Structure 1
């Protein structure tokens, strides 16, 4: 049963990392290259869509890692699982304190109501997101290390 939990948790966290990596390095670059207001409108839509899904995914990932840490306490690799959980806590705190406030504003923006500094706010979100992606990649790497 523990093996199934380990594999399931690693896959859930790994797919989350893939989505967030894709947002940072693929989707946002595509949206930024679109003409006119299309990119900003696409980011607003993405903020609404992913803003509804990602909190559940982050918290579920953290819960799965916590269950793994408890169930596998004393096993070789338990320290890696705990470290992964700590990094996921950092990513959740970053999300709530830094990224969500910007996302909550930007997901309502249109060409008519966006603030003058909308690009700067988007750039700030991107910088925070790059750091968060690095943190969750680390969390994922520690889970993989715990498996071997």
Structure 2
């Protein structure tokens, strides 16, 4: 677990003069079964999203339109990824804190998730997250 498993994933592109097509298949292009899809849009200038980690959930974030930065933090190190291509996703492992910042005007962030929504899977308090990844709180 941690940042070493988080990575950019290039998705397949079917080139066509009428417009390109990209597709995503569970356990082929993403390392999990896709159980939920949601997207962020109309994010006001200067706003941030994320600000949490998941105990068990894995995700793939894609900039469907526009661009944004994702700051990942595993409790030991931080790394920033810039997303601005609809054929490139960012795989985020469980137990990695994420902040999504610097949304361009009209940006759309699509998220593919490995499980259904479950509020008990979230760490929303950074100090609680740090305690969990350092082994002082049960992960769940």
Higher helix share: 1
Q: Which has the larger radius of gyration?
A: 1
TM-score where L is the length of structure 1? 0.23
TM-score where L is the length of structure 2? 0.24
Higher strand share: 2
